[in-house]
Amino acid sequence: MFYKIELKDHIRVPPNLFNLPLEEAVIKRIKTKYSGFISKDLGIIVDVSGMKEIGEGIIIPGDGASYYDVKFELLAFKPEMQEIVLGKIKDIAEFGAFINIGPIDGMIHISQTMDDFVSFSKDKTLTGKESKRVLKVNDICRARIIAVSFKDILNPKLGLTMRQQGLGRLDWIKDESEENAPKKEEKETKEHKEKKEHKK
């Protein structure tokens, strides 16, 4: 999920940025410091979304830069357990598929790609034995996050599934909902008839 996070920090603006308007120079330095920053608490920092407040600058003897106490907003992506995400299949291997969900990639184990016996082919596709569904690179899919690990802080790991109803390649979901629609109408008609007979 994407979050707006408000932070306070002491930002150093070096002399080579003194020619820029103050806010522009400070934003540039915040982007340099926080771009790609990853932490368990904040998630993955995507960008600086706004400036709240810039305090008065101070110069420390022996350092030509100026320092500012700054309050600003960051846009961060923090993956949440059970969150449903939309992404594009980036790569397929024998053990599963890698999906890009914006600022991070996740992994879908082969057993979690579809509710079927799945086989891998050398042209980098996964195929369901019964359903004949094929998953390939660049497919747009909906998946659910089932594992989040920040053990290696520079490379967080996400595990996802597409086995549940309403998940998978977008056209599979559309086909499923079209298949289920007539059944639902039939069930409602049957229930309506039963209620009518019961009233008699």
Give backbone dihedrals phi and psi of 167, rounded to 5 degrees, phi first: -120, 160
> According to the model, what pLDDT value does residue 39 have?
87
> According to the model, what pLDDT value does residue 155 have?
85
Low-confidence stretches of the chain (pLDDT < 70) are 180-200
* Distance (Å, whole) CA 165 – CA 115: 9
> According to the model, what pLDDT value does residue 7 have?
94
pTM of the complete model: 0.75
> According to the model, what pLDDT value does residue 52 have?
94
Contacts of 111 (CB under 8 A, 6+ apart): 96, 118
> According to the model, what pLDDT value does residue 153 have?
82
Three-state SS for 133? coil
Using a 10 angstrom Cβ sphere, with 0-12 exposed, 13-18 middle and 19 or more buried, the burial of residue 162 is: buried
156: left (phi over 0), alpha (psi -120 to 50) or beta: beta
- Domains of the chain, earliest start first: 2-77 (3.30.1490.120), 84-178 (2.40.50.140)
- Of 67, 65, 24, nearest in space to 48 by CA: 24
**Tally of CB atoms within 10 A around 91:** 13
Mark out the alpha helices in the chain (DSSP H runs): 22-34, 170-199
